[in-house]
Amino acid sequence: MSILKKWLLPAYRRVVGATKHKYLFVFEELKDLGKVFVPLVNVGLWFENKGEYLDFQFIVDTGATASILPSFIAGQLGFELTDLPEVEMAGVEGTGVKSWLARIKMRLEDWEFEAPCFFVDNPNVPFLLGRAGVLDPEFSLLIDSKKKELSLKEN
C-alpha cells in the first residue's frame, strides 16, 4: 500500500446538523493510557493534477499553529518544495525539522477555504488540522464528552 493510500479517508461516521458538522468520537487503545479519544475530522485537499478534492482524515490539533502534512503529498497538491519557503519548525520535543510553508485549498464538508500548511520532511507525520486559517478564524470547535462527539461550526 502506498503511503498516500494510508491516509486516504476510509468510510467515516458523520452526522450533519443545520449549522454545524458533528463527528462521532473515534477511540484508540494506547499502552499505559487505555482507551483515548482521537479528534478526527474529514478534510478535502485540492489535488491540482486531478482537478478535484480528495478526502483525508485529519487529527484536530488545537496546539498546532498551522496545519501539517507530510512532504510527500506536496507535489500531488501542485507544489514544488523548491519553490516554497523553507522553515525550521519545532514541535513539543523542541528539535527542529525541515518544512516548507504553503497556502493550500481545503474543504471541510461544504466549506471551501485556503489555509497555511507546513509540509514536513517526515513521511510518518499524521495529517494535522491546526489553528491558523481553520480554527482561527473560520470555525469554532466543541468537544462534547457527554455526547461523545466533536462539532465544527462555521463562524
Predicted TM-score (pTM) of this structure: 0.82
Q: What is the pLDDT of residue 38?
A: 86
Question: CA angle at residue 10 from 8 to 13, to 5 degrees?
Answer: 135
Q: Which residues contact 94 (CB under 8 A, 6 or more apart)?
A: none
Distances (CA, A) of 88 to 21, 32, 71, 91, 98: 34, 32, 14, 10, 5
Distances (CA, A) of 28 to 77, 93, 105: 29, 22, 29
Set out the domains of the chain in order of their start, with CATH numbers: 13-154 (2.40.70.10)
**Tens-binned pLDDT, residue by residue, of the chain (155 aa):** 344 444 444 433 334 443 467 888 888 898 999 998 888 889 999 998 889 999 999 999 988 889 999 999 999 999 999 999 999 887 666 677 889 999 999 998 888 889 999 999 888 889 999 999 888 877 888 888 888 888 888 77
